[in-house]
């Protein structure tokens, strides 16, 4: 269902929903926009740091030895972007819910989450979702999607959870013209994103280009400035490599799951010291291989949704687009 509302009404709606949900909204915190429990919402600045990942798969999370039955207030995450939704639905849900055994800790956090996405109208210079099969608006996986028109907003529900939000809020349905207006705005945004990376992962065959290039020199050159900090992995909405930290005491078994990074030297090291990828260039290339070949094979979408976070985060100014461009 697509409803239509006045821009000003959104605050009232959020107010109503905050009675039943713990609300997180994108808001300015220093130079960054983060999901916070604050009131002021920055609807347009991207990327929103932390993204959805932290809400379903926290950076460090006790997975054994916590109270699994503890009740928590439902969480509503407002201002979610298409790129992050895609990573959640196409990668995380598949790995942690669909593929057996399901991760019960993830499942609980995921089911507790109501996702309110928003169309991007001001893509950042680092955004390139359109080059990797995505779009600057929620396509699937949201419960409610908000599209800002000029003075009005369209609110599209896509699930029972989304529909439930309007049980006590009466709004008119959007007309054909309203939807046309929304789609025109979306087209404009798409064009704005396309300027950032004028390539298409399918047509330009990123996968084969990466697979076929095992030229040590090329990858060494690209990885030359890498500081091996792992930031690109931690910031990425599709990366979920993890380690189990054993923190049991004499009374109880306790384990903490924490993010890991394939760029770190010890990532694939085996007992005794053997290492399949001791050199940085191999690990650097592996990240591209993993995203554009292995994940593409596994999930039928590449493991990059073009959110651009790895570009902004990298202290060495390494740009995934430039690395790929050099292979085409």
Partner 1 sequence: MSAEKLKNPYNPIKATIVNIIVNAPDIKTFKLELEEPIEFATGQFIQLTVPGIGEAPFTPSSKPGRGKNIDITIMKVGVATGVLHKMKAGAKVAIRGPYGNGFPLDKIRDRELLIIGGGVGLAPLRTLIYEVMENKERYPRPLLLYGCKTPEGILYKDSFSDWEEDFEIHRTVDNPNEEWQECKGVVTTLFDKIKVDTDECAAVIVGPPVMMKFAALELENMGISPERIIVSMEKNMTCGFGKCRHCLLGDYYVCKDGPVFTYKQVKGIPGAWD
Ligand X SMILES: Cc1cc2nc3c(=O)[nH]c(=O)nc-3n(C[C@H](O)[C@H](O)[C@H](O)COP(=O)(O)OP(=O)(O)OC[C@H]3O[C@@H](n4cnc5c(N)ncnc54)[C@H](O)[C@@H]3O)c2cc1C
Query: What residues line the site for ligand X (CB under 6 A)?
Result: 266, 269-272
Please report the sign of the dihedral spanned by the C-alpha atoms of residue 131, residue 135, residue 141, residue 142. positive
Which of ligand SF4, partner 1, ligand X, none does residue 293 bind (CB under 5 to 8 Å by kind)? partner 1
Sequential DSSP letters for 148-199: E-SSEEEEEE-SHHHHHTTTT---PBPPHHHHHHHHHHHHHHHHHHHTT---
Near partner 1 by CB under 8 A: residue from 33, 257, 311, 313: 257
**Nearest approach, Cβ of 257 to ligand X (angstroms)?**
15
State both tokens at 210.
């990466």
CA distances from 315 to 55, 228, 311, 319 (A): 25, 10, 9, 11
**Nearest approach, Cβ of 126 to ligand SF4 (angstroms)?**
8
Site string for partner 1, 222-251 (x = CB under 8 A): ------------------xxxxx-xxxxx-
Among 304, 23, 36, 301, smallest CA distance to 144 is for: 23
194 binds ligand SF4 per the rule CB under 6 A = no
277 binds partner 1 per the rule CB under 8 A = yes
Could you tell me which stretch among 135-143, 205-213, 221-229, 270-278 binds ligand SF4 (CB under 6 A)?
A: 221-229
Task: Return the residue nearest ligand X (CB atom).
Answer: 266
90 binds partner 1 per the rule CB under 8 A = no
Among 106, 54, 78, smallest CA distance to 237 is for: 54
Of 172 and 266, the one with the shorter C-beta distance to ligand X is 266
State both tokens at 94.
């598949």
Q: How far apart are CA 201 and CA 34, in angstroms?
A: 29
How many residues at the interface with partner 1, by CB under 8 A? 47
For residue 76, the tally of other CB atoms under 10 A from its CB is 23
Of 130 and 157, the one with the shorter C-beta distance to ligand SF4 is 130
**Nearest approach, Cβ of 63 to ligand SF4 (angstroms)?**
24
Q: How far apart are CA 3 and CA 206, in angstroms?
A: 39
Tell me the three state secondary structure of residue 100. coil
Could you tell me which stretch among 108-116, 178-186, 233-241, 245-253 binds ligand SF4 (CB under 6 A)?
A: 233-241
Element spanning 207, H or E: helix 206-212
Of 3 and 240, the one with the shorter C-beta distance to ligand X is 240
How many helices (H) and strands (E) are present in the chain, helices listed first?
Answer: 14, 10
| Burial group, residue 193, by CB count within 10 angstroms (0-12, 13-18, 19+) | buried
Which of partner 1, ligand SF4, ligand X, none does residue 109 bind (CB under 5 to 8 Å by kind)? none
**Nearest approach, Cβ of 143 to partner 1 (angstroms)?**
17
Near partner 1 by CB under 8 A: residue from 10, 14, 32, 64: 64
**Nearest approach, Cβ of 118 to partner 1 (angstroms)?**
29
Which of partner 1, ligand X, ligand SF4, none does residue 162 bind (CB under 5 to 8 Å by kind)? none
192 binds partner 1 per the rule CB under 8 A = no
| Burial group, residue 46, by CB count within 10 angstroms (0-12, 13-18, 19+) | buried
Q: Give contact residues for ligand SF4 (rule: CB under 6 A).
A: 226-232, 235-238, 263, 291, 304-310, 313-316, 318, 320
Kindly list the residues in this chain that would bind partner 1 in the complex (CB under 8 A): 63-64, 68, 95-96, 99-105, 107, 214, 240-244, 246-250, 253, 255, 257, 260, 262, 267-278, 282, 290, 293-294, 297-298
């Amino acid at each position: 269902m697509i409803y239509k509302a006045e821009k000003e009404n959104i605050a009232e709606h959020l107010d109503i929903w905050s009675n039943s949900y713990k609300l997180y909204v994108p808001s300015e915190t220093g130079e960054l926009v983060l999901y916070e429990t604050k009131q002021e919402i920055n609807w347009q600045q991207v990327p929103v740091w932390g993204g959805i990942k932290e809400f379903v798969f926290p950076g460090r999370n006790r997975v054994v030895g916590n109270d699994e039955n503890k009740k928590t207030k439902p969480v509503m995450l407002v201002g979610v972007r298409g790129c992050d939704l895609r990573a959640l639905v196409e990668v995380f849900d598949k790995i942690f819910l669909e593929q057996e055994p399901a991760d019960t800790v993830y499942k609980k956090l995921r089911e507790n989450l109501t996702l309110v996405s928003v169309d991007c109208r001001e893509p950042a210079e680092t955004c390139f979702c359109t080059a990797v099969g995505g779009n600057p608006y929620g396509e699937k996986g949201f419960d409610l999607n908000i599209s800002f028109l000029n003075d009005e907003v369209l609110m599209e529900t896509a699930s029972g959870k989304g529909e439930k939000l309007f049980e006590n809020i009466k709004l008119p349905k959007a007309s054909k013209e309203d939807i046309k207006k929304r789609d025109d705005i979306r087209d404009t945004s798409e064009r704005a994103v396309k300027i950032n990376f004028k390539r298409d992962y399918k047509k330009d065959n990123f996968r084969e280009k990466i697979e076929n290039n095992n030229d040590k020199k090329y990858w060494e050159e690209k990885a030359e400035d890498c500081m091996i900090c792992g930031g690109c992995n931690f910031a990425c909405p599709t990366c979920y490599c993890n380690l189990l930290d054993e923190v049991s005491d004499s009374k109880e078994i306790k384990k903490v799951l924490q993010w890991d990074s394939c760029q770190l030297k010890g990532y694939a090291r085996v007992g005794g010291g053997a290492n399949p990828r001791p050199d940085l260039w191999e690990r650097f290339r592996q990240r591209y291989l993993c995203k554009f070949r292995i994940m593409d094979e596994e999930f039928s979408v590449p493991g990059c949704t073009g959110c651009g976070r790895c570009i902004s985060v990298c202290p060495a100014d390494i740009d995934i687009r430039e690395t790929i461009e050099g292979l085409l």
